[in-house]
Structure 1
Amino acid sequence: MDTARCWELVEAARAAAGPGWSDLDERLEQALVAGLAPLPLAQLIAFEVRFAELQRRLDRPDVYLAAYLIGLGCGDDTFTDFRAGLVGLGRDWYDRVLTDPDQLAEHPAVHAIAAGEVPRDTLMTEGFQFAPMVAYERLTGDDEGFWTALDAASPPPASPEPERAAPTRCNLDRLAALFPDSLASLARHYPHLTGT
């Protein structure tokens, strides 16, 4: 499965999940499981490999800061959930975030979070990222085989990437303006990220 086909399945799940931001994680998970269920098991595993690659591309300090600002804090697991949520927004928004995470300030879900209309963890989609595993378990009845199949299908690990230097200040001005409480928390706990 190539990346384009992976995106087709993600976009179909996003469309099937429907509008609105309440219960986004649950709706995305259900839609993706339904979309993956007709696939041969090898294709389902190949989807997971591509899906994980998309999430890895978002593993950057500036994306982490966006997650922190939107969520009023962000741990490792939450950041993983946030990256899955960004994939779940679809390819257009994914590409925009790769270019500049501050563009999230224009997204309607982020505005709904800032307005207090939906929870701050709306974009943290834990269930969505595990949809391939759920689909595999439903198809096979095997709740452990997914990881074995994934290990067998995953490419060997590449040489480790050099560590990235931490940003010297927060460059997400539009997101910071939407979430001043998060900016204050950043300034208090991580002053080197905000330049204060």
Structure 2
Amino acid sequence: MFGLYISHPEVAIDPDVPIPRWGLSEKGRERARMAAASGWARGLGRLVSSDETKALETAGLLAEASGSSVDVLKDSGENDRSATGFLPPAEFEAAADRFFTDPAVSFRGWETAHDAQARIVRVVMALLDAHDPSIPIAIIGHGGVGTLLYCHLSGIPVSRAHDQGPGGGNLFAFPLARRRPVCKWTRIEDWQGWTDG
């Protein structure tokens, strides 16, 4: 059986609202609804989510399709960027480049990539260790820590070369028995669903 790590799609950016409380934009909601209409979403047996609003909203739309409830996965939020707060898009992209390029170094007080990776790996592995492997599970979270998890599961160094595409709303799948990704980040509305492997 497979697990999925899913990043939330596009958000409604509001510099006056703390980033963890940003919700989905209308485009993000539409993409999540498209994913929820797919066969793979209806087959999910368990959903867990970061406690950030955008992830919870994504999980809620997927839960409607599967009939599953959503559990909050503590400590699975995006890398802590509260030291800088909102950064305009060009500045954010440059900061994200630094985050991945120098994973042991904090960018202006951000949680380091190494620390964020250790955190997300710890909570996801504990979740999967306690999970019934016969039940398909989706973990709904964020692109940054999702990429760090992808790198760990793939046995490769931290690198933004493995980051998701613009806009978010991507997933990667992994067999619960082997916990090694069987696909790269794929748009949630484009993924074809479970395959043998």
TMscore range, shorter length: under 0.3
TM-score by length of 1: 0.24
Greater fraction strand: 2
When Rg is computed on C-alpha atoms for both structures, the one with the higher figure is: 1
The TM-score, its normalising length taken from structure 2, stands at 0.24
